[in-house]
Amino acid sequence: MTQQIPENLKYTQEHEWIRQDGKHAVIGISSHAQDTLGDIVFVELPKVGSLLSAGKAFGVVESTKAVNELFAPVSGKVLRINEELTSNPQLVNTEPYEKGWMIEIEMSHPEELNALMDAAAYKNFLKHP
């Protein structure tokens, strides 16, 4: 299967993606990550109002193969979580960049985005991890 790697997102080496909208950003896991994990059966997300630090764990995604931590691409405060994943975690598999998003944050240090990979760099990273 060809990996979807939208050009408008930034990516981490842990396969999270982030879509910036001003000081707000939406975070999820990449198509590559969900493909590697297999069928996702459970997602644990932080509470609204939680403070995240770049590079630190903020949740867990559990699949039929493994349990993996989710890491914050940037620092910020959780504004919303994708409540739909509680009853339908498979959305991460079927629509990782749309309905399978995980959290929305208000970034405290938007300049942290500069340390993340753009789509071209992420494609290259997947070829040569």
pLDDT computed for residue 129 by the predictor? 66
pLDDT band at 33 (very low <50, low <70, confident <90, very high): very high
Q: pLDDT tens-digit profile of 11-28?
A: 999 999 999 999 999 999
- Name all domains of the chain by residue range, CATH numbers in brackets: 10-127 (2.40.50.100)
On the question of pLDDT at 122 being above 80, the answer is: yes
* 102 touches 48 (CB < 8 A): no
Residue-level length of the chain: 129
pLDDT computed for residue 128 by the predictor? 83
Tokens of 53: 């630090």
Average pLDDT of the segment spanning 72-90: 98
Spatial distance between the Cα atoms of 90 and 7, rounded to a whole number of angstroms:
23
Average pLDDT of the segment spanning 96-113: 97
Give residues with Cβ within 8 angstroms of 98, minimum separation 6: none
On the question of pLDDT at 107 being above 80, the answer is: yes
Q: pLDDT tens-digit profile of 46-72?
A: 999 999 999 999 999 999 999 999 999
Tokens of 71: 């890491």
pLDDT computed for residue 58 by the predictor? 98
Spatial distance between the Cα atoms of 53 and 118, rounded to a whole number of angstroms:
20
Mean pLDDT of the chain: 96
Distances (CA, A) of 45 to 51, 104, 115: 12, 11, 24
pLDDT computed for residue 2 by the predictor? 52
